[in-house]
Structure 1
Amino acid sequence: MELSSNITIPVAPAGFKSGFVGIIGRPNVGKSTLMNQLVGQKIAITSPVAQTTRNRLRGILTTEAAQIIFVDTPGIHKPHHQLGKVLVQNAKVAIQSVDLVLLVVDGSVVAGGGDRYIIDLLNRVEIPVVIGMNKLDLQPTDYQEIEASYYQLISSHSWQIVKFSALTGEGVEVLQNLLIENLETGPYYYPPDLVTDQPERFIMGELIREQILLLTREEVPHSVAIAIDRVDEEPSITRILATINVERSSQKGIIIGKGGNMLKAIGSAARQQIQKLIAGKVYLELFVKVQPKWRQSRIRLAELGYRVDE
């Protein structure tokens, strides 16, 4: 699972298609699960908690006929703090800087106000749009009302709609082919074997944060930021030192847990995921630090890697 490559970028054959596809949608509709399914391995973290994705993450899918660079954006929502404002602004910037937008919606429920808000945003930009109705596996038998609600929202457009399940993979190949159809001919932007342009340290931090979200659920929602302090690569093992930053002492207590049990569980689960990422043995040491109100401070946000995209 190499995230970097020394291979030079080849010249694309005649008729080769390429482009940047922005995956947007409300929080928790399955955008990250879909991108992992499309690129064939885990690069974006997933969680039952909304607002999992923070940084714009590029996933790269290369086939014989095309190269698609997916830009996974934070779920578009009404922001409640400085971090939320940064996330929503970055998602809006992503819409302006791609060749095609894939709007992912929850196909198991009727369209809501959040979907209307995003479609209104898309009405203001001159970019082709494909609607992806996710969660086909959860769609009820009387799904006609659900489909009608989305068709009604886009009645003034010729946008295509495709149904799929990011979880099971059903319909994902159809979606992939439709996206390629909508791209122009173009070059390879990245080496064919690359699956993301994010550095390994970023992915390591995200895999640790994913386990915190999964194991603590609503108790420590999004007051967590991971700093990878050191990565020492030895011949037989990679040693990683990381700090978990939280906003309150009570959150530190939850993450450490009784007798340190929660921190051990987080570390063990994250270590297993990182070992898959780097295809090697990992020793992971975690520390927990209280950084009061880090989500409200632009300086702290920048220090922890959250910058507003221009």
Structure 2
Amino acid sequence: MSENKETEKSEDFRSGYVAVIGRPNVGKSTLINALVGEKVSITSKKPQTTRDRIMGVLTTDNAQYLFVDTPGFQTKHSSELLARMNQSVRSSLSDVDAVVMVIEATGWRPEDQVVLNLLSKDAKNVILAINKTDEVKESEAMLPLIKEAMEKFPFADVVPVSAEKTRQLDVLLDVIRKYLPEGDKLYEDDIYTDKSPRFLAAEIIREKAFRLLGDELPYGVAVMIDKWEETDDQARIFATLLVNRESHKGIVIGEKGAKLREISRLAREDISKMLGKNVYLEVWVRVRKGWGDDAQVLKSLGY
């Protein structure tokens, strides 16, 4: 009898879509990367790093999770790019089987409420992930936060985690699995994202620019892959970093080209790891004023 039960349990495979939402810079991308075990979304301390719905795929023995990483919902600034990003957040909430809302363990913020307002009052299968628990000394300190959150919305479950330290991620996966429908895999076991290598390479270059330039560079930077040549043992990639102003160009290039060389070097290393082969990467900087409001440019960038 027990053997039959074990057999039934092993055949109880589940698969489904999980939207991960939260205010800017709350750690959504870091959480998805940690759950999937691969770099599918770029991270930096700059808010609004993620600009597109990026799906990370995790396949385990009993489930396949299709995570949708969304841009942090933005209300402070206005542009065509940000309008499209906010629409991406809203559309991510439709046709998913579960939603993971991420907040920080340090407390509920007004920006969290803005994100929460995107959910309908009768939304189901909404899980609250309280991230960055490593920044709170005592776990008891989170109890008031959990109480406050539950008063704001009837979350199906609450799971404290640390994406940075990979704490409680197995618990979060077990909780999410409960809300996924029974069904077959939608992707092969070795697939970890639905994005193309070209897209991921552009994202990696953009991440290095964000990380190296920090507050020096305003938000307006994008990456276009101009040319991609690939053989079995090498990839030759030519890319353009788009900036809004002439003054930004000098910031990206740096003194005697030092910053741009470092951006290229770090990006080349990550892209080489991703592709599993040698990479020749050439990055140029070009000024395109107002690209964030240019529908044609945004379309070419995939927004």
Q: 1:226 is matched with which residue?
A: 223
Q: Displacement of 1:235 after TM fit? A: 4.1
* Superposition map of 1:150-299 within 5 A: 150-155=146-151, 157-299=154-296
Provide, for residues 173-227 of structure 1, a one-character-per-residue CA deviation record: whole Å limited to 9, x for no partner. Answer: 1111111122121121111110000000000000000000000011223211111
Question: Retained in 2: the 8 A contact 1:110–1:147?
Answer: no
Per the alignment, in what secondary structure is the counterpart of residue 129 of structure 2? strand
Question: Retained in 2: the 8 A contact 1:110–1:150?
Answer: no
Relative to structure 1, the CA distance from residue 302 to residue 143 in structure 2 (aligned partners, 3 Å threshold; closer, same or farther) is: farther
Q: 1:80 is matched with which residue?
A: 78
CA distance, structure 2, for counterparts of residue 202 and residue 32 of structure 1 = 16
Q: 2:102 is matched with which residue?
A: 104
Per the alignment, in what secondary structure is the counterpart of residue 168 of structure 1? coil
Provide, for residues 142-183 of structure 1, a one-character-per-residue CA deviation record: whole Å limited to 9, x for no partner. Answer: 752x44234223225152100111011011111111111221
RMSD: 1.5
Residues matched between the structures, number: 292
Match of 1:95 among 80, 93, 96: 93
Q: Which has the bigger relative contact order, CA under 8 A and spacing at least 6? A: 1
Q: 2:62 is matched with which residue?
A: 65
Q: Identify unmatched segments of 5+ residues in structure 1.
A: 1-12
Question: Retained in 2: the 8 A contact 1:96–1:125?
Answer: no
CA distance, structure 2, for counterparts of residue 191 and residue 160 of structure 1 = 29
* Superposition map of 1:2-13 within 5 A: none
Per the alignment, in what secondary structure is the counterpart of residue 96 of structure 2? coil
Question: Retained in 2: the 8 A contact 1:26–1:75?
Answer: yes
Q: Displacement of 1:255 after TM fit? A: 0.7
Per the alignment, in what secondary structure is the counterpart of residue 91 of structure 1? helix
Q: 1:148 is matched with which residue?
A: 144
Identity of matched residues, %: 37
Q: Identify unmatched segments of 5+ residues in structure 2.
A: 1-9
* Superposition map of 1:50-61 within 5 A: 50-61=47-58
CA distance, structure 2, for counterparts of residue 138 and residue 199 of structure 1 = 35
CA distance, structure 2, for counterparts of residue 114 and residue 86 of structure 1 = 19
**Letter aligned with residue 264 of structure 2:** G
